[in-house]
Amino acid sequence: MTLTRRIIPCLDIKDGRVVKGTNFLGLRDAGDPVELACRYNKQGADEVVFLDITASKENRGMILEVIQRAADELFLPLTVGGGIRTLDDVQKTLRAGADKVSMNTSAVQNPSLISEASTSFGTQCIVVAIDVKRRTQMESDKTPVLLPDGTSCWYEVVTHGGSKPTGIDAIAWAKEAENRGAGEILLTSMETDGTKEGFDIPITATISNAVGIPVIASGGVGTMEHFYDGFVNGKADAALAASVFHYGEMTVAEVKEYLTKRGIAIRPPGQ
């Protein structure tokens, strides 16, 4: 059976608005999250991801209100992340209308949250988001990843919006997340985020080969070919993009048409 690949627009939300930056910095406004999500719904997106990138407690009520508005108007799966720190947060987010929750910093700080959430709510709705950064100084206990220029590096898990190094090997962490009950990995490379130079293929392919759960490639889409590269060379199950969709450089429908012509199994828009 051929599994269809998924195209997922990602909406980074700050103070109730969609924003987009480069390498997690230089944020600019991109519109109302529900309006944008509805646009992607019409274009044939397979899912939509909302990430509350400030994730401060005072914004928690606001993001729940956004989730409720989106759930009322959307007819596609909605994943929500940012500020998911406790089982109660997971429950509130799902109850507001999210189909899946994404946890990142909190999962690193408290890995048992993955286990508890997957046991309580099912693995199918638990996504572990992993932000990574290349480290060229190899360490004996880290997994080497071969880069296109023939050199090796390892990938470190970073938290708090990419600002805090953890010393954790990304491949080992992805495996642990799967073992603890994560249903998917949302992988973002800080090397490529917002650059429009393509996904970070070496780490995407390495983690895709290392785990048995779906891997969502994130960070760096600039052309339709980048989606193809993420699926074929990155072995990703889904591809996530933001600015190319938000600023009208391409539509989800156009991407799906392109991928279908290149032989990628994709769910047609409107189905």
Contact 259, 231 (CB under 8 A): yes
- pLDDT given for residue 12 in this prediction: 87
Classify residue 271: in a domain, yes or no.
no
**3-state SS record for 28-55:** EEEECHHHHHHHHHHHCCCCEEEEECCC
- pLDDT given for residue 25 in this prediction: 55
Domain that holds residue 218: 6-261
- pLDDT given for residue 161 in this prediction: 74
- CA separation, residue 254 to residues 60, 112, 175, 223, 250 (Å): 35, 41, 34, 11, 6
The answer to whether 131 is a known catalytic residue is yes
Classify residue 167: in a domain, yes or no.
yes
Segments in the chain below pLDDT 70: 1-2, 20-28, 55-62, 269-271
* Amino acid symbol at 152: S
The string of pLDDT tens digits covering residues 196-212 is: 999 999 999 999 999 99
CATH code of residue 56: 3.20.20.70
Classify residue 268: in a domain, yes or no.
no
The residues, any chain, with a CB within 8 Å of residue 214's CB and separated by 6 or more, are 183, 184, 185, 237, 238
Classify residue 270: in a domain, yes or no.
no
Instruction: Single out the catalytic residue among 52, 131, 200, 229.
Output: 131
The answer to whether 193 is a known catalytic residue is no
Classify residue 134: in a domain, yes or no.
yes
Classify residue 266: in a domain, yes or no.
no
Classify residue 1: in a domain, yes or no.
no
Classify residue 269: in a domain, yes or no.
no
What pTM, to 2 d.p., does this model score? 0.93
- The number of folded domains in the chain is 1
The string of pLDDT tens digits covering residues 13-49 is: 887 888 866 554 556 677 889 999 999 999 999 999 9
d(CA 91, CA 68): 14
- pLDDT given for residue 22 in this prediction: 54
